[in-house]
C-alpha cells in the first residue's frame, strides 16, 4: 500500500497516525480539506480487520465530510478519525483521553464528534483533554443529542421534494413509509403526522415501534415489506445500502428522502437507476445535514434556535440540487457534488487572491526599503 499515492488520489491535506503505548490507542485522523474552515467529523471506533481497511475508511469518510459541510453552507472543512478496536470491550476513558491529546496537538485543524462506536460520554472524556470536540453534553455547554435537528432537516427536505414533484409542499394525505423509528425516524414521524401525512412505519426492535405508535398515528409494516408499500414517499432512517438492484424494482414511491447515511449501495449506479425509474432522490448527505449543522453551531457558540434555522436551509439547497439535476440531466447525487465543489473552488480562489495580495504587499515593502 502506498499511503502518499492514496492521499494524493483523494486530495487529502493531512493524515495523522496516532499511537499511544500506555493505552494501546491506534487511531488515524484524516483531514481532507480545511479550505472552508476547520475539518469537522466524528471519531469512529470499529473492529477493523486490518490497518489498511481502517485507512481506506477514514480517507473515504473524511472526504464525504468535506462535501457534506460544503453543500450545507457551513464554514467547516472535512475530517474524520478512526480508532482500531472493539467499542464493546476496549472503550475506556484513558484511551479516549489519549485520543483527545492527539486532537489537541492539531491545534484546531481537526474537530472531533460522535460516530459509530462513540457517544456523548466519550465526547466528555475527550473534552477533558481538548476543546476541539463537539457533541458534548448540554450541561457542559454542548449541543447534546443532534437527532431532533437532523429529523427537522429531513422534514423540511421532504417538503422540498413534495414541492418539486407535486407543485406544492403540502403533506396532507401524503403516504409516507418510514424505515427505522429510532431517534431520527421517531422525531421525523412527529413532524409528519402534524402535517396530516399518513404514515407506514417499520423497525426491527418492537419497543421502538411501540413507542412510536404511542406518539403518532401510523400503520405498522413488517421490516422487509417496507419496500413494497404503495406510498408516495420512502424515508429510510435506519441502514445504509438499502437502495440497490433488489429494492429499486419494488419501489412504487415517487420520492426517496430520509435521514440514513449511505443509502445508495452503489452511488454511481443506483442514483442513475432511480432517475431512470422517475424517482426523485434527495441525496442523503444533503437532507441529513442537520446533525452536522447542530454540532457545527457548537464551534461558534451553541444555540438550538440557530441550528434549527440553519437546518431550514436544507429546503433551498435541495431545490438547487433539483434544478441543476434537471438542467444538466444528471442524477441528484452528482448535482449536489457540483454545488459542494463549486463552493470549495470559490473559497480556494478567494484564499489564493488574499495570498497573492499579501505577497504583492510584501514585495512592495521589500522593494521600497
Residue 181 known to bind ligand = yes
How near is the Cβ of 127 to ligand NAD at its closest, in Å?
19
How near is the Cβ of 239 to ligand NAD at its closest, in Å?
5
Sheet of 175-179: strand order equals 218-220, 198-202, 175-179, 233-236, 255-256, 280-281
Phi, psi of 116, rounded to the nearest 5 degrees: -55, 130
> Is beta strand 255-256 parallel, antiparallel or unpaired with respect to 233-236?
parallel
Residue 321 known to bind ligand = no
Catalytic residue selected from 80, 174, 198, 208: 80
Q: Is 224 left (phi over 0), alpha (psi -120 to 50) or beta?
A: alpha
Decide: 178 and 154 in contact? Cβ < 8 Å.
Answer: no
Give the residue with the Cβ less far from ligand NAD, 85 or 291.
291
| Neighbour tally for 276: CB within 10 Å | 9
> Is beta strand 255-256 parallel, antiparallel or unpaired with respect to 280-281?
parallel
* Closest residue to bound ligand NAD by CB: 182
Give the residue with the Cβ less far from ligand NAD, 78 or 185.
185
Task: Round to whole Å and give the CA distance between 185 and 10.
Answer: 33
How near is the Cβ of 256 to ligand NAD at its closest, in Å?
14
Give the residue with the Cβ less far from ligand NAD, 37 or 185.
185
Give the residue with the Cβ less far from ligand NAD, 98 or 201.
201
Give the residue with the Cβ less far from ligand NAD, 95 or 149.
149
Q: How far is CA 278 from CA 26, 76, 121, in A?
A: 46, 34, 44
How near is the Cβ of 107 to ligand NAD at its closest, in Å?
27
Residue 43 known to bind ligand = no
Residue 229 known to bind ligand = no
Residue 190 known to bind ligand = no
**Cell numbers describing residue 152:** 427537522
Asked if 80 is an active-site residue, the reply is yes
Residue 184 known to bind ligand = yes
Contact footprint for ligand NAD (CB under 6 A): 146-147, 150, 179-185, 202-205, 208, 223, 237-239, 259-261, 288, 291
Element (H, E) at 187: helix 183-194
How near is the Cβ of 203 to ligand NAD at its closest, in Å?
4
Strand blocks (E) in the chain: 14-20, 25-33, 39-46, 77-84, 110-113, 175-179, 198-202, 218-220, 233-236, 255-256, 280-281
Cite the active site residues: 80
Annotated binding site for NAD(+): 180-185
Known binding residues: 180-185
Amino acid at each position: 500500500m502506498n499511503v502518499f499515492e492514496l492521499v494524493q488520489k483523494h486530495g487529502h491535506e493531512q493524515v495523522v497516525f496516532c499511537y499511544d503505548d500506555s493505552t494501546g490507542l491506534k487511531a488515524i485522523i484524516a483531514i481532507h480539506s480545511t479550505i472552508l474552515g476547520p475539518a469537522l467529523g466524528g471519531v469512529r471506533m470499529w473492529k477493523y480487520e486490518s490497518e489498511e481497511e481502517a485507512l481506506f475508511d477514514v480517507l473515504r469518510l473524511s472526504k464525504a465530510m468535506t462535501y457534506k459541510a460544503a453543500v450545507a453552507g457551513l464554514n467547516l472543512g472535512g475530517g474524520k478519525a478512526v480508532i482500531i478496536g472493539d467499542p464493546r470491550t476496549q472503550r475506556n476513558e484513558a484511551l479516549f483521553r489519549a485520543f483527545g491529546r492527539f486532537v489537541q496537538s492539531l491545534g484546531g485543524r481537526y474537530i472531533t464528534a460522535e460516530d459509530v462506536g462513540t457517544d456523548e460520554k466519550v465526547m466528555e472524556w475527550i473534552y477533558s483533554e481538548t476543546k476541539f470536540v463537539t457533541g458534548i453534553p448540554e450541561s457542559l455547554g454542548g449541543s447534546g443529542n443532534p437527532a431532533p435537528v437532523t429529523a427537522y432537516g429531513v422534514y423540511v427536505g421532504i417538503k422540498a421534494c413534495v414541492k418539486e414533484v407535486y407543485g406544492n409542499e403540502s403533506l396532507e394525505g401524503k403516504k409516507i413509509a418510514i424505515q427505522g423509528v429510532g431517534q431520527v425516524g421517531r422525531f421525523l414521524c412527529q413532524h409528519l403526522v402534524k402535517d396530516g401525512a399518513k404514515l407506514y412505519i417499520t423497525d426491527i426492535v418492537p419497543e421502538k415501534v411501540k413507542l412510536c405508535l404511542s406518539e403518532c398515528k401510523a400503520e405498522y409494516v413488517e421490516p422487509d415489506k417496507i419496500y413494497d408499500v404503495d406510498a408516495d414517499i420512502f424515508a429510510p432512517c435506519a441502514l445504509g445500502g438499502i437502495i440497490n438492484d433488489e429494492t429499486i424494482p419494488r419501489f412504487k414511491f415517487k420520492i426517496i428522502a430520509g435521514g440514513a447515511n449511505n443509502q445508495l449501495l452503489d452511488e454511481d449506479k443506483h442514483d442513475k437507476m432511480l432517475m431512470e425509474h422517475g424517482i426523485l432522490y434527495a441525496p442523503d448527505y444533503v437532507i441529513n445535514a442537520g446533525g452536522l449543522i447542530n454540532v457545527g453551531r457548537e464551534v461558534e457558540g451553541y444555540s438550538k434556535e440557530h441550528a434549527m434555522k440553519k437546518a431550514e436551509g436544507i429546503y433551498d439547497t435541495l431545490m438547487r440540487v433539483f434544478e441543476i439535476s434537471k438542467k444538466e440531466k444528471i442524477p441528484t447525487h452528482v448535482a449536489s457534488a457540483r454545488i459542494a465543489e463549486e463552493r470549495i473552488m470559490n473559497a480556494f480562489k478567494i484564499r489564493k487572491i488574499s495570498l497573492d495580495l499579501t505577497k504583492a504587499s510584501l514585495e512592495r515593502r521589500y522593494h521600497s526599503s
